[in-house]
Amino acid sequence: MPTLSPKATDQRKRLDQFLSQAFPEQTRSQIQKWIEEQRVLLDGKPAKAGYKLRGQEQIEVSLPEAKSIALLPEAIPLNIVYEDAELAVIDKPAGLVVHIGAGVHQGTLVNALLHHFQSLSQSGDTNRPGIVHRLDKQTSGLLVVAKNDQSHVHLARQFHSRSVTKRYLALVHSRMTKPSGEIRSAIGRDRTNRLRMSTRAARSRDAHTEYQVLESFQRFSLLRLTIKTGRTHQIRVHLSSIKHPVVGDTLYGAPARMTFSVGKQTRPTLGRNFLHAAFLQFQHPKSQELMSFSSDLPQDLSQFLDQIRELESS
């Protein structure tokens, strides 16, 4: 049962708003349902969703039991960039799903974490121990994992308040006309294809992405991207919406194959999305120290980029 202690900066916040920040993986309606079911105790007593915090209460949350799937430790190799008693920073490879879900019951990052670490946070979904934020299956790069509930809540609040800095590298189709820019298009579930997100959804949430062109080619652009929000597939959807889909991202409009005519016909292929979480900065939940981590492009992406450079210079 997680116990939360609001700070002075939380004064005047509604109880349901505060809990939504503490449990960002839950919808506001789900949080309100917890309160109605008296799963939330304020100084030991049931409270109302609209209660305005004073900043010194003790809030106990009795999390509902999720339909639990047997989570088994698996000896999956991990690149652990940093580890202490509170958290770990992982450099996730492409192809590794973060947690179990529809049709995926093993072989995930969670299974690997259970093998490598003695304890993980249980705050939030019991099927996702330690998971504070996610990366898509075909996205590589940096991800922070919480080892206990207190650290999970602290880190989750940073993500919700948008104080975490996340930067990505992406190769996109077509040459960008501007050296830098931003995309502010709300994102929601696609009305016809439930696997996709869209900037033209019936129900959507604000999303903000900034980009800078690092290198330009005749048919591609290498970008550094900073996301100010953390919507599902945000970078992929935003870049596709301005006609610059991420290379390899066939779900959002990128071609499955690319043909270059340089002497002999050459077909460079990439079996994943060219998207890498290259930089992560957050405040340590215990020491309050500002921590920064960087990750170079993995070998498959750097080799593909070198191939593009060679073909276009021929």
The model's pLDDT over 270-280, given as tens digits with 9 standing for 90+, comes to 889 999 999 99
* DSSP single-letter state for residue 305: H
Q: Which residue has the tokens 């940073």?
A: 158
Over range 22-47, report the average pLDDT: 83
CATH of region 66-159: 3.30.2350.10
Please state the φ and ψ torsions of residue 70, each to the nearest 5 degrees.
-55, 115
| Residues 6 or more apart whose Cβ sits within 8 Å of residue 105 | 69
Model confidence band, residue 11 (pLDDT cutoffs 50, 70, 90): confident
Q: State how far the Cα of 41 lies from the Cα of 79, in Å rounded to an integer.
A: 40
Using CA atoms, how far apart are residues 114 and 111, in angstroms rounded to an integer?
5
**What 8-state DSSP symbol labels residue 48?**
-
Q: Do domains 66-159 and 166-277+302-313 have the same CATH topology?
A: yes
Residue 163's H or E segment, with its range, is none
88 or 44, which is more confident: 88
Question: Which residues lie closer than 8 Å to 72 by C-beta, 6 or more apart?
Answer: 106, 111, 114
* Bridge-based pairing state of the strands 275-283 and 140-146: parallel
Domain ranges of the chain: 3-61, 66-159, 166-277+302-313
* pTM of the predicted protein model: 0.78
Where is pLDDT greater, at 170 or 3? 170
Classify 3-61 by CATH class: alpha beta
The set of catalytic residues is 136
- Domain 166-277+302-313: state its class: alpha beta
- Tell me: the pLDDT tens digits for 246-304? 999 999 999 988 776 555 555 567 889 999 999 999 999 999 999 999 999 999 999 99
Task: Look at residue 67 in the predicted model and tell me its pLDDT.
Answer: 55
